[in-house]
Structure 1
């Protein structure tokens, strides 16, 4: 039998109901207990948005990508169903022998992409040849996909305000300790890659010059997290005299709690309290350009697999 290739998309995962949140959070922390106050706060955030559509949207992104390729596309989640290990087991049961693995977090970090890779390799063992995409923060089609969502909103809001409005690009924060260089590891590339994506998106919006970058959704665990925070950045912009700001999350490829609650509810409320109108572009979700970006990345990986020397 010849090689049978596939694509595996990886995402964070999200609980399907409020009752599943404690188990989900235990997966996120690797079994470390969380204070009841934190669990209650996360439950509140999910209740405010009804439920996170992340799983449904990720499966749709996989379906759209599969329609563009001649290989099957699977989905594995690190912290909820369908779990990565289960997706890999299904691939093996289906006769797949090699896979391009793409993390739907384009910016590479040890706390995200590194953990996803470990989970895939542990599940696959020597039963699958893996081409793992380390990061695609610099992908120009990805930048254009975000810009396609941003441009019409920026033009309309700038016209409404009578002046170009600033844009705050955001990505999920991570604990500072996880990205600092150590004796046995270099500095984590995450922050620079996130800012590179932001810069590429800004370059795709003619006339956009006033833009900032901030990290959002800092966790509730102890110790410092990457900043500046969105709240700090919004406060600075208000002090500069701005009355409206666009928050454009470029670290997220579909709607979920970090967008539907953190931006649409919490940051909008924060902006309202300081006299700042907050808007955001539509999320990529089923974006044609996002599918095109994933198609190009997948095809490159499939080519590498097809030309790699066989291993015994």
Structure 2
């Protein structure tokens, strides 16, 4: 395996973008922060309209949407993600204020109120002109990075703010200490608890396995993750998305073993598959993996939601309900580790990520815990390609077609 070299091929970008060494953008005088997320329904009457937004353009009838709404219905029609984003926004504001950093934090969603276009308009109306965006997705793939860049590009175009409001994006932070260290703490605690439970049951030496869980994506999107036009790279399992999870998981295990002297075998598994059955997605599914481990004699399972920032619906349903039920049905002792949420280290890390990019209160160092980082501020041409059709995009070096703009537009301007 040859990990992505963050020093490679920067010269082409530096000629047209304010990018310094290792794919960095030069610090700017940002005047606001945008927390961008997926969004979710907040009542039973919101469920179908929300699912229409998520599946927009696919022609899926409401009857089919109702069939897949059960996990929201079972939770009163409420996704936890909005409350969690409100809590994260408040925690970010508190941390910024504690550091004396005067940057207001706005919140906008891809699929539910507050929507990104309206949020951008509100920011512009309030006098903001340079915005730094942080998303609640840490890894590299179409839905975790490029789609957010498209959301902003389309919103700037739709609102008429392209060229008036500049929006840049914080780097993908899968291996930033602020994201990883809460998982190190949680994995160590979860492993200790499972072993204590097994000891209490009279089986202290029973085999335990750690499952790092993340959202499955189509294999075509996984293959395109982190790859750029004319820049062949090699990643473990031929995907930056997979490689980033494996590298981060390996670091979590290394730290847990170093700090506690205790470890366990581990593997990467996937969850929350959707879409047409004939389209291949990343595997193995977590429930299939649990059944296989049980057949191998494993008695304890530690589930680490490594792919997620907070305990949203894919965590509380797919893991806390379905995966833990699978464990219970097989007689396995199991625990699910917390996500970073508003953990102090995560909030501090998020503000550190913001300070990497600001001219004032700048943090020049870019900590990263794997050989894959630090990831780029500006995505390479064609990175995490959209196979569904080209859309306006920000924070990347995507070739512009038929706009009269520079073929590598400055990050923050919409490109086609």
Common fold by TM > 0.5? yes
SS at match of 1:180: helix
**Equivalent-residue separation in structure 2 for 1:179 and 1:282 (angstroms):** 25
In the alignment, structure 1 residue 116 sits paired with structure 2 residue 148: yes
Report the CA distance between 1:3 and its aligned residue: 5.5
Please give the residue correspondences for 1:223-242 in structure 2 after superposition, counting only pairs within 5 Å. Answer: 223-242=279-298
Report the CA distance between 1:7 and its aligned residue: 1.3
Please give the residue correspondences for 1:177-188 in structure 2 after superposition, counting only pairs within 5 Å. Answer: 177-181=220-224
Alignment root-mean-square deviation, CA:
2.7
**Equivalent-residue separation in structure 2 for 1:109 and 1:237 (angstroms):** 29
For 1:197, the equivalent position in structure 2 comes to: 248
Unaligned runs of 5+ in 1: none
SS at match of 2:338: coil
For 1:126, the equivalent position in structure 2 comes to: 163
Please give the residue correspondences for 1:61-210 in structure 2 after superposition, counting only pairs within 5 Å. Answer: 61-69=88-96, 70=101, 71-124=103-156, 125-161=162-198, 162-163=204-205, 165-181=208-224, 189-206=240-257, 207-210=262-265
Please give the residue correspondences for 1:34-53 in structure 2 after superposition, counting only pairs within 5 Å. Answer: 34=60, 38-50=64-76, 51-53=78-80
Q: Does the Cα contact within 8 Å between 1:247 and 1:278 map onto a contact in 2?
A: yes
Report the CA distance between 1:62 and its aligned residue: 1.2
Report the CA distance between 1:168 and its aligned residue: 0.3
Report the CA distance between 1:6 and its aligned residue: 1.4
Q: Which stretch of structure 1 is more off in the superposition, 38-47 or 281-290?
A: 38-47
For 1:58, the equivalent position in structure 2 comes to: 85
Q: Does the Cα contact within 8 Å between 1:9 and 1:103 map onto a contact in 2?
A: yes
**Equivalent-residue separation in structure 2 for 1:137 and 1:301 (angstroms):** 17
Report the CA distance between 1:129 and its aligned residue: 2.5
Residues 9 and 203 from structure 1, CA distance in 2 versus in 1: closer, same or farther, beyond 3 angstroms? farther
In the alignment, structure 1 residue 31 sits paired with structure 2 residue 57: yes
Residues 279 and 235 from structure 1, CA distance in 2 versus in 1: closer, same or farther, beyond 3 angstroms? same
**Equivalent-residue separation in structure 2 for 1:303 and 1:195 (angstroms):** 34
Query: Would you say how many aligned residue pairs link Structure 1 and Structure 2?
Result: 308
Answer 1 or 2: higher relative contact order, Cα 8 Å, separation at least 6. 2
Unaligned runs of 5+ in 2: 1-27, 157-161, 199-203, 233-237, 365-409
**Equivalent-residue separation in structure 1 for 2:283 and 2:31 (angstroms):** 40
* TM-score normalised by length of structure 2: 0.68
**Equivalent-residue separation in structure 2 for 1:278 and 1:205 (angstroms):** 18
For 1:216, the equivalent position in structure 2 comes to: 271
Q: Does the Cα contact within 8 Å between 1:4 and 1:98 map onto a contact in 2?
A: yes
Q: Does the Cα contact within 8 Å between 1:171 and 1:249 map onto a contact in 2?
A: yes
Larger Rg: 2
Which structure features the higher share of helix residues? Answer: 1
**Equivalent-residue separation in structure 2 for 1:135 and 1:97 (angstroms):** 23
